[in-house]
Structure 1
Amino acid sequence: MKKILLILILALGFTACNIDDDGPSISYNYVEILDATLPQYFVVDEEYKIDITYDLGSECNTFNNFEYSGRRHQEHDSIYEFYVNAVVAYDPRNIENCTDTGLTETKNWTEDFKLNSDQYDVIRFNFLSGRKNDGTGEYLTKDVLVGAPDDQETEEPTE
């Protein structure tokens, strides 16, 4: 009985792993963010749309989502930073049918980006725009002031 059980387990082990699996295989990749449309300033509890333009990379890529994280600036307590990445999905088995046609798309990052606190004077957005030779990220950085300017000047935030 033990020999039959051992043979069945070995047979199952050999058939369970099929290296010729042609099932779906989706991969995800970060793509270059080219531009972002931001307001001149944020007013607490107001909702804003932020449009982000990114390089799709290939006609075989499809937009997946934006990944982001936020944290207080390490040196300036009055600055809050967001790091934003655009993520696309693609099937790596189909790359021979794909061409890089320079496609770009613009998507809305969040439909209701809302600042809930006036704790910070500046919200800094760092959009992943490429990679350096050492693999670290390069960022398109844009600052947005918090609160309407006291005077009615149309001063542009620094980038």
Structure 2
Amino acid sequence: MKKIILFLSIAFSFAACNIDDDGPGISYTYVEILDATLPAYFIVDEEYEIDITYDIGSDCNTFSSFEYNGRPHQEHDSIFEFYVNAIVSYDPNNVANCTDTGLIKTTNWTENFKLNSDQYEVIRFNFLSGTNTDHTAKYLTRDILVGEPEDTPEETTE
């Protein structure tokens, strides 16, 4: 009985390996964010839609996700920064209808954003928009004020 179990476990381990599959897997890459539509200001506990337009690269790519994180600004404690990256995937095993002729697509994405604190005066969004010649990240930066702007009194003429 022990020999049968040993033989079956060895047989299953060889059957699980497919040595014919040496093709590449799905790859992910960042793409350029072209524009972002944001409100003029954020009010605490309100929810906002943020439209992000990005270049998908070609019709061989599929939008995967947005990667974003936030942190307080290093020098100004009144600013909170978000860094946003758009990610697409490419599956070389699924290219039956794919024609990589340099076709560029731009798609909008909406994320619901809710600010939970008025601890910061400015929310700074840094959208990855490419790389510089020295291969450092280049960002499209938008600063959004926190709190409704004060109404300016109308000028009176006497």
Q: Under TM normalisation by the shorter chain, which class is it?
A: 0.7 to 0.9
Counting only pairs closer than 5 Å after superposition, residues 1-159 of structure 1 correspond to structure 2 as 18-21=18-21, 25-92=25-92, 94=95, 97-108=99-110, 110=111, 112-152=112-152
The 3-state SS of whatever aligns with 1:97 is coil
User: Structure 1 unaligned runs (5+)?
Assistant: 154-159
What RMSD, in angstroms, separates the aligned Cα atoms of the two structures?
2.8
Cα distance in 2 between the residues matched to 1:118 and 1:128: 26
How far apart are residue 150 of structure 1 and its match?
Answer: 1.1
Aligned length: 147
Letter in 1 for 2:118: D
- Per-residue CA deviation, residues 89-124 of structure 1 (Å, 9 max, x unaligned), is 11135498322212111111x2x3100000000000
How far apart are residue 145 of structure 1 and its match?
Answer: 0.2
How far apart are residue 15 of structure 1 and its match?
Answer: 7.6
User: Structure 2 unaligned runs (5+)?
Assistant: 1-5, 154-158
Letter in 2 for 1:62: T
* Largest Rg, 1 or 2: 2
Of the structure 1 ranges 135-144 and 75-84, higher mean CA displacement relative to structure 2 is found in 135-144
- Going from structure 1 to structure 2, the CA distance change for 1:113 and 1:152 (only over 3 Å counts) comes to farther
Cα distance in 2 between the residues matched to 1:44 and 1:128: 26
Cα distance in 1 between the residues matched to 2:21 and 2:134: 35
How far apart are residue 133 of structure 1 and its match?
Answer: 2.7
Over the matched positions of the two proteins, sequence identity in percent amounts to 68
